[in-house]
Amino acid sequence: MTTTDVDITNRALQLIGTRTTVASMAEVSTEAIQANLVYNAVRDWCFGISNWNFARKVATLVVAKSLTPPPGTWTSTAPQPPWLYEYKLPTDFIRAVYLTNSASADNKYSGEPQRFSFGNDTISAIQQQVILTNATPAILVYTSQVTDPTLWPWYFERVVVSTLAWTLSNTLSGDKDLVTYLDGVATRFITIADLKNREEPLAIDDTTPEWIQALGINYPYRRHDGKSGTNDSNKR
């Protein structure tokens, strides 16, 4: 089922208890006007609080500036010292997960995460955030801005709804107790969502029972704590 920004806003209003809904984000009503003021900021803040799996993207970065070693006297045409490369960030960038290069060997990627830093620069007369590193080509794994709520998993939808409700509650109700209550609701949903997000790549239903592990029998990738075992033929 398609979910829209209006749906998210109305769910937040329901959580506040306003008993009113909006038909459009463009309508002239107190609820719509206040929601429009904060909706994008709240959504992007929710994206920034964790490395959400569903929003993970990869991009080969575009070089904005570079410096060929050995470096000479620094000028504004070069990246900020001590970095050799300055890259533009993707337009849907929220936060970095890691940066690497395209090194490969034995039919698999062999590049390790590389050091990087963020900076600010004016490129083509536009002041913007940039990423600085010595890696080239630079491949960035990052949390992206997913603006379509239909693509949000159930746990992230609750994070945005509850956080939006908390943000709007003081303006729409003026009830300080309600603000405090919704702060707690949002915090609980954030905690649950972060846990579910971290569990996704580790979910294993056929875990090895603890009593078998206690006997020293080791099954790779079948441990209840998510850790892999090792095959040791000398272990008895």
pLDDT tens, the chain, 236 aa long = 899 999 999 999 999 999 899 999 999 999 999 999 999 999 999 999 999 999 999 999 999 999 877 777 888 889 999 999 999 999 999 999 999 988 877 788 777 889 999 999 999 999 999 999 999 999 999 999 999 999 999 999 999 999 999 999 999 999 999 999 999 999 999 999 999 998 886 555 555 555 555 565 555 444 444 444 444 444 44
**How far, in Å, are 7, 61, 194, 205 from residue 200 at the CA level?**
26, 28, 10, 12
Global pTM value: 0.81
Residues in contact with 197: Cβ distance below 8 Å, sequence separation at least 6, in sequence order: 50, 51, 52, 53, 155, 156
